[in-house]
Structure 1
Amino acid sequence: AGDVCCELDSSTLVEKEKEQQIKVTTARANLEKAMKDIEIQLTTNESNVAKAQLAEDLAALSLVSYTSAGGEYEQELETVKGDIKKTEEELSINREEYERVRDQARLGYANVNQLESARLKVTQSQILLSVNRGKLEVLEKYTRPKKEKELAQTAEDSKRETQRARLEGEALMTQMKAAADAAQLTLSVEDEKLDLFQRQIKACRLVATQAGEVVYASQKSSRGSEPVVIEEGAAVRERQAVINLPDLENMKIDARIHESRISRVMIGQPVEIEIDAIPGDPYRGKLQSVSSVPIPGSWPNTDLKEYEAIVQILDSPERVRKLKPGMTAQIRVVVEDRKEPVLQIP
C-alpha cells in the first residue's frame, strides 16, 4: 500500500497551474490594493469633511462678525460718520478762514491769491463732505444688505458643501467596498481553480490503497471486440478504468446475464463456477448482485441487452488464492423451476 501504480501525464495541468498561480497572485494583489484604497479613501473623506466643516464654521463666524453689535458693519458705519464729522469741522474752519481773508481783502490787508486759496479750501471741504455723506448712504442702503445676503448665502452654501462632502465620501466608500468584495470573490474563485488543478495533478499519481497485485483494467473498444490497450503513452479518457487492485482473498466474478433469462435469477441463488484455466475443479458461489438496467451490446450486436451481475465465491481462501485476476469463467445459476416433488422415470 502507498506505492505508485501508475502516473498520468500532467504536463498540461502543470502549465495551467502556473498560469492559475499568476491569476491568483494578481487577484490577491487587487484585493490588497482595494483594501488600501478603502483606507486612503477613509482618511480622504475625514479630511474633506473637516475642511468643509471649517469653511462652514468660518462662514457662520463671518456673518455674525458683520451683523453683530460692534461688528464690522458698525465699525464701517462709525468710520464713515467720523469722516463726515471731521469733514464738517474742516468745512466750518475753512469757511471762517475764508470770511476772515475776505474781510482783510476788503481792507487791503490780503491779496486776491490769498482770498482764492481760502475759497478753494472751502470748496474742497464741501466736495469731501458730499462724498462722505454718499458713502454713508451707500453703506446703509446697499452695501449692508448686499453684504449680509452674501454672507448668509455663503454660510448656507458651506452647510450644503459639508453635507455634500459627507455624502460623496459615503458613496465612494460604498463603491470601494463593493470593489473590495468583488476582488475577494475573484480571489476565492481563482483559489478554487488553483486548488482544482493541484488536486488534478496529485490525482495523476495513482497510489495503491491496499496491498495486492496491480492488474490492467480489461476493457473493449466501442467499435468491436478489440481490447483497449493500457500501456505507456496510451491516451485515456475521463472516468476510464486504468488499473485494478483486486483482493486476492475475496475474488468475485463479473458476469453478464441475457435479458431472456433475467426474470429467472434472484440474488442469493447458488452458482456453479467453471474456471477455464482449472478444468474439472468447479467452484461454488452465490449471486451477490444484479444490475437493474441492461447494458447495450458492443458493435455490431448493438441490439443485444445483458444485465451485469456479480458472483461471490464461497470456497475456502486456499482455493480462492489459486485464482488470478482476469481469468475466464463459465457460470451456471441454479434456479428451481419446480417447487413440488416430481417423479423421474428411468
Structure 2
Amino acid sequence: MAQRTGTQAAKIERDRKGRSTWAIAAAIAVVVGVPLVVFALVPDFSLPWGAADEKPLMVAVRRGDFVHELTERGDIESASNVEITCEVESQNSSGATILEIVPEGSWVEEGDIVCKLDSSALEDQYTKQEIAVANARAALIQAQNAYDTAVIAKKEYLEGQYRQQYLSAQINVFVAEENKRRAEDYLKYSQSLAQKGYITQAQLEADQFALEKAVKELESAVTALEVLEQFTKPKMVRQLDADIETAKAKLESQQHAYDLEVAQLEYIKEQIDKCTIRAPAAGQVVYANRVGVRGQNDIIIEPGARVRERQTIVRLPNPAEMQVKTKVNESKIGLVHVGTPAIIRVDALDGAEMEGEVVEVGKYPMPTSWFNSNVKEYQTVVRIKKPVEGLRAGLTAEVRIIAERYDDVLMVPVHTVFEHRGQTWCITYENGKLKPVPVEIGSTNDKVVIIKSGLNEGDEVVQNAAAYREKVGMAEVHSREGEASGAAGDTSDSASGDEASGEGREPRGRRPGAGAGGPPQAGEGGPRRGGPGAGGFDPAAIVDRIFATLDANKN
C-alpha cells in the first residue's frame, strides 16, 4: 500500500513539472509574439521612445574658468643635491666593488667616511710601480753620468790634450828652425874650407844634404802645427760636442721616463685614496638607486655591487629645495613650457598639495626599450616652490601641469560639438526641431571646449551631437562618398540651406516613409514597410533603435 502511494506521488510530481514547463513556454510566446504581431499588423504603431516629439538630452552653455591640466606621475628629488660619485677609474674592468657603505638615511658630517671601495688590485699595481720607479731611477743615474763624462771629455781635450799637442808642434817647429840655421852655418863654413882645400867634395855635399833635410823637417813641423789648428782641433771638438748632445738626449729621455713612472706611482696612490669616499658636506645619505624598464639595467647600491667611474653612489639632498621629475608624452609636450605653473600632490603626506613651476623641458625624447620604441616621452622637471614639512626624496607625486587657464569663458562638453566640412557645429532644439548652429571653438581639455562665438550663456545644446548629425543633414562624409561626390559634383552643398534647417530633402539614413521617429505622413509612401519579414517587420531596425535610445552618449 505504501509502495502504491509513493508511485502515485511521483506521477503527480511529474505532471506538475510538465504543466509548469508548458506554462512558462506559453508565457514566453505571449510576451514575444504579441508585440511582434502588433508591430506587423498596425502600420501606425511605433515605439514610445521613437516619438516625433521626443526631446534629446540637453546641456546648457555655462560660463566659468577653463583649466587644461596634464596629469602625470613622477618622483620627488632634491633640486640641490650634493652628489658623491665614484672617482676610481675602471681600468679595463666593469668597475670597483663596494666593500662598505653607511646605511641609507644616516646623517653624516663633512669629512665622515661614506663608502669604501675595493683597492686590492690597485695596491698590487702600487707595489709593481715602485719597482718600475727604482729601475727608472737607476737608468737616470747612468744617463747623468754619461752626460757628465762627455762634458768633462771636451774640457779635457781643449784644456789638456789640445794644448799639449799644440805646444809639442811649436817645439818641433822651433827645433826644425834651429837645425836649419845650424845647417846653413855649417854649409857656409864648409864652402870656405872647400875653397882652401881643407875638406873634400864629399864632405861639402854632406853639409848641403844636411841643410836640405833641416828645411824639410821645418816644413813638416809647420805643417803639423797647421793640421792641428785647422783640422784636428775642430774635428775633436765636434765629436765631443756630439757625444755631449747624445748623452744629454739620453739623460732627458731617462728623466722623462722617470717622471712618468713617479707620476704613475702617485696616480695609483691617489686612486687608492679615492677608494675611501668621504662626505664633502653634511647631509642625509640617499642611495642613488635606479630601476630600469622591467628590471633591466637596474642600479642597486649595496655592499658587493660594482660601480663604474663617475657613477653617482650617494646623494646628500637639500630638503629646502625639492623638485619632481616626470615624463610627458609627445602628443602633449607642445603644451608644456618653462614657467608653466603646476600643482604637486603627494599621497604619502595625506594628499598634501604644493605649488610648482616647470623649470626644464627635455629637447629630445628619453631613451626607450625595443618593445615600446614607438612611445616618445620627454623628461620634465617641476620645481616645488614651498616644500611641506616631511617631504623627502624618493616619494611618488602626482603632478598636474596647468597648460592653459582662461577666466570667465563660455564652455560646453566636448561631445556636444562636431565638425562638418571644415566648420564646427553644435545642435540646438527649438520648437520641437533640431537645428545646427555654427560655432567658433577655442582650447579644449578633453572634457569641455571653449566657445568663442555662436552661442550665448544659458543656451541649450544637444548632448552627443554626433549621433544626431544625420537628422540635421550633416552625415559624416567617408572617403568613398567624398570621391563619388567629387566625380558627380558636390550636390550636398546645394541643399545645405534646407539641411541646416532640418527641412526639405529627407536626410540620409532615414527609412522611406518614416518621420523623425514618428508615424508616416500623408503622401510619404503609405505604411512603413521595406524591412525583411512579413508586413515589413525588421528586427534589426528595432534592435538598432532600442540600442540608440539606451546608449545616449555613444560610448
- TM norm structure 1: 0.74
Does the CA contact (< 8 Å) of 1:256 and 1:309 recur in 2?
A: yes
1:14–1:85 Cα change, 3 Å: farther
Is the aligned partner of 1:174 residue 2:245? yes
Q: CA deviation at 1:272?
A: 1.7
- CA deviation profile, 1:67-124 (whole Å, cap 9, x unmatched): 2xxx1233356578889999999x97xxxxxxxxxxxxxxxxxxxxxxxxxxxxxxxx
CA distance in 1, matches of 2:121, 2:339: 48
Match of 1:231 in 2: 302
Match of 2:367 in 1: 296
CA distance in 2, matches of 1:259, 1:242: 32
- CA deviation profile, 1:113-154 (whole Å, cap 9, x unmatched): xxxxxxxxxxxxx9xx6764453243233x234323321232
Match of 1:46 in 2: 155
1:340–1:65 Cα change, 3 Å: farther
SS of structure 1 residue aligned to 2:143: helix
Match of 2:392 in 1: 324
Match of 1:217 in 2: 288
Match of 2:121 in 1: 12
Match of 2:173 in 1: 63
The percentage of aligned residue pairs carrying the same residue is 27
SS of structure 1 residue aligned to 2:312: coil
CA distance in 2, matches of 1:273, 1:218: 23
Q: CA deviation at 1:221?
A: 4.7
CA distance in 2, matches of 1:23, 1:222: 47
CA distance in 2, matches of 1:282, 1:340: 22
Match of 1:154 in 2: 224
Among residues 267, 280, 295, which one is paired with 2:351 in the alignment?
A: 280
CA distance in 2, matches of 1:276, 1:177: 76
Does the CA contact (< 8 Å) of 1:80 and 1:132 recur in 2?
A: no
Is the aligned partner of 1:185 residue 2:272? no
Is the aligned partner of 1:72 residue 2:155? no
- CA deviation profile, 1:143-183 (whole Å, cap 9, x unmatched): 23432332123212222212222222222222222223333
CA distance in 1, matches of 2:189, 2:317: 119
Match of 1:37 in 2: 146
SS of structure 1 residue aligned to 2:391: coil
CA distance in 2, matches of 1:242, 1:291: 24
Does the CA contact (< 8 Å) of 2:361 and 2:381 recur in 1?
A: yes
Single out whichever of 263-272 and 77-86 deviates more from structure 2.
Answer: 77-86
**Paired amino acid for 1:2:** G
Does the CA contact (< 8 Å) of 1:80 and 1:136 recur in 2?
A: yes
Is the aligned partner of 1:333 residue 2:398? no
Question: 1:68-107 to 2 correspondence within 5 Å?
Answer: 71-75=178-182
SS of structure 1 residue aligned to 2:326: strand
Single out whichever of 322-331 and 179-188 deviates more from structure 2.
Answer: 179-188
Query: Which consecutive unaligned segments of at least 5 residues does structure 1 have?
Result: 93-125
Q: CA deviation at 1:58?
A: 2.0
Does the CA contact (< 8 Å) of 1:28 and 1:187 recur in 2?
A: yes
Q: CA deviation at 1:59?
A: 0.5
Does the CA contact (< 8 Å) of 1:56 and 1:162 recur in 2?
A: no
Structure with the higher fraction of residues in strand conformation = 2
SS of structure 2 residue aligned to 1:277: helix
SS of structure 1 residue aligned to 2:148: helix
Is the aligned partner of 1:201 residue 2:272? yes
CA distance in 2, matches of 1:276, 1:17: 53
Q: CA deviation at 1:189?
A: 3.4
Match of 1:342 in 2: 409
Q: CA deviation at 1:44?
A: 1.6
CA distance in 1, matches of 2:164, 2:297: 89
1:29–1:308 Cα change, 3 Å: farther
Single out whichever of 43-52 and 7-16 deviates more from structure 2.
Answer: 7-16
Q: CA deviation at 1:47?
A: 0.5
Does the CA contact (< 8 Å) of 2:356 and 2:382 recur in 1?
A: yes
Match of 2:516 in 1: none
Match of 1:109 in 2: none
Aligned residues: 302
SS of structure 1 residue aligned to 2:247: helix
Among residues 235, 246, 260, which one is paired with 1:164 in the alignment?
A: 235
CA distance in 2, matches of 1:298, 1:309: 19
- CA deviation profile, 1:187-219 (whole Å, cap 9, x unmatched): 443344334333322322221122222121122
Does the CA contact (< 8 Å) of 2:324 and 2:383 recur in 1?
A: yes
Q: CA deviation at 1:54?
A: 2.2
Among residues 320, 334, 338, which one is paired with 1:267 in the alignment?
A: 338
